[in-house]
């Protein structure tokens, strides 16, 4: 599932490919992908003739500012959910089996929304409304992890009275926006905190370390450039790529890269949490010696394989 770094990479790609281009028309191939307005024809009327000013990201939402004849023309919102992809190519290329929405641009160019599992959503927000009024979950999102609002005091205050496991808290989008399973597991490993630890029992030092680890893991994963994004289309590809660089995520039974102990997995609130029982014991004070051997690698660079052209001439 795309998390903040993947969505941020898509945003950067969109800003390189589609900026200042006018949507000449479109086709909705699956009605339920359009979350707003109710009727896909209203959606198409809303976006037709609009120019994309800039793509923004809020949590895992992509939001494009639209103008028509120099006047605000609302917003185009996209959530990729589990398998959604935005692909840029030419209109004569064969339409992918799971293509749900097509956006046509000048010079035979096209942006396609391809989504195998069909959980992805697209909104057109009319200019008289705000994105938060139409995409209501936007209003409840916590701060962006790279923003000043996501401070150590804020993080500590939010965790103070909560009794649930820290892993579950990290997945709560009202605490901080954009973190999913992969980056929650990885940042807990880097800060040597057991995922089952209750929020309220975390020490101030642990909270400080976890805060820094979250930012480091996300920043490293966004990486450089990010104009193309081929393997991202394949959830297996994500795990496969990430498996080469992850400390713990999806590595159950494999040796910890720091101490050699087998990585363990537990279920927490229906989601898998991966951790090293030695480096992240319940109650703290891990034995693992980070920074030795393979563990010297201090970042998660390389998660995003930016090779071009995995889907014919469609890429992003
Ligand atoms: Zn370990």
Q: Are residues 135 and 157 in the same domain?
A: no
Question: Residue 53 maps to which CATH number?
Answer: 3.20.190.10
Range 154-163, long-range pairs (CB < 8 A, 24+ positions): 155/207, 155/210, 155/211, 156/204, 156/207, 159/199, 159/200, 159/202, 159/207, 160/199, 160/200, 161/200, 162/198, 162/199, 162/200, 163/198, 163/199, 163/200
The verdict on whether 3 is a catalytic residue reads yes
312 domain-assigned: no
Query: So what's the pLDDT on residue 287?
Result: 62
The verdict on whether 60 is a catalytic residue reads yes
Q: Are residues 178 and 267 in the same domain?
A: yes
- Quote the ligand 1 centre to 260 CA distance (angstroms): 6
183 domain-assigned: yes
Query: So what's the pLDDT on residue 12?
Result: 87
Q: Are residues 124 and 69 in the same domain?
A: yes
Q: Are residues 171 and 270 in the same domain?
A: yes
Q: Are residues 116 and 176 in the same domain?
A: no
302 domain-assigned: no
Last residue in a domain, options 115, 140, 165: 140
303 domain-assigned: no
66 domain-assigned: yes
316 domain-assigned: no
79 domain-assigned: yes
Q: What does DSSP assign to residue 285? A: -
Q: Exactly one of 37, 271, 281, 297 is catalytic; which is it?
A: 271
Per-residue confidence of the chain (316 residues) as pLDDT tens digits?
788 888 988 898 899 889 999 999 999 999 999 999 999 999 999 999 999 999 999 999 999 999 999 999 999 999 999 889 999 999 999 999 999 999 999 999 999 999 999 999 999 999 999 999 999 999 999 999 999 999 999 999 999 989 999 999 999 999 999 898 989 999 999 999 999 999 999 999 999 999 999 999 888 887 643 222 334 443 223 333 444 578 999 899 999 999 999 999 999 988 999 999 999 999 876 665 444 333 333 332 322 222 222 233 344 4
Question: Residue 159 maps to which CATH number?
Answer: 1.10.8.50
Last residue in a domain, options 119, 140, 161: 140
Query: So what's the pLDDT on residue 9?
Result: 85
Q: How many domains does the chain have?
A: 2
Region label for 250, one of left (φ > 0), alpha (ψ between -120 and 50) or beta (otherwise):
left
Provide φ and ψ at 234, rounded to 5°. Answer: -115, 115
Query: So what's the pLDDT on residue 306?
Result: 24
pTM of the model: 0.81
Q: What share of the chain is helix, strand, coil (3-state, %, to 5)?
A: 30, 25, 45
- Quote the ligand 1 centre to 48 CA distance (angstroms): 54
227 domain-assigned: yes
Structural domain containing residue 84: 4-140
Cβ atoms of 224 and 203 closer than 8 Å? no
């Amino acid at each position: 599932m795309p998390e903040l770094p993947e969505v941020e990479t898509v945003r950067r790609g969109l800003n390189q490919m589609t900026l200042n281009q006018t949507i000449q028309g479109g086709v909705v191939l699956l009605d339920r992908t359009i979350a707003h307005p109710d009727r896909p024809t209203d959606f198409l009327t809303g976006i037709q003739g609009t120019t994309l000013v800039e793509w923004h990201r809020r949590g895992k939402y992509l939001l494009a500012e639209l103008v028509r004849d120099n006047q605000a023309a609302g917003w185009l919102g996209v959530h990729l959910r589990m398998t959604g992809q935005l692909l840029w190519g030419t209109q004569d290329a064969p339409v992918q089996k799971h293509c749900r929405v097509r956006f046509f641009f000048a010079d035979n160019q096209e942006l396609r929304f391809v989504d195998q599992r069909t959980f992805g959503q697209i909104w057109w927000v009319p200019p008289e409304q705000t994105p938060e009024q139409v995409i209501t979950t936007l209003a409840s999102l916590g701060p962006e992890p790279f923003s000043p609002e996501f401070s150590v005091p804020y993080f500590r205050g939010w965790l103070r009275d909560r009794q649930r496991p820290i892993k579950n808290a990290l997945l709560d989008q009202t605490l901080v926006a954009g973190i999913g399973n992969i980056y929650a597991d990885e940042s807990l490993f880097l800060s040597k905190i057991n995922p089952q630890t209750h929020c309220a029992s975390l020490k101030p030092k642990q909270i400080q370390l976890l805060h820094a680890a979250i930012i480091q893991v996300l920043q490293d994963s966004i990486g450089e450039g990010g104009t193309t994004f081929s393997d991202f289309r394949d959830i297996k590809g994500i795990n496969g790529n990430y498996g080469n660089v992850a400390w713990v995520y999806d590595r159950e039974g494999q040796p910890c890269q720091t101490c050699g102990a087998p990585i363990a997995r537990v279920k927490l609130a229906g989601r898998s949490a991966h951790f090293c029982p030695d480096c992240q014991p319940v109650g703290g004070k891990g034995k693992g010696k980070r920074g030795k051997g393979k563990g010297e690698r201090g970042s998660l660079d390389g998660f995003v394989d930016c090779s071009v052209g995995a889907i014919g001439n469609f890429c992003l």
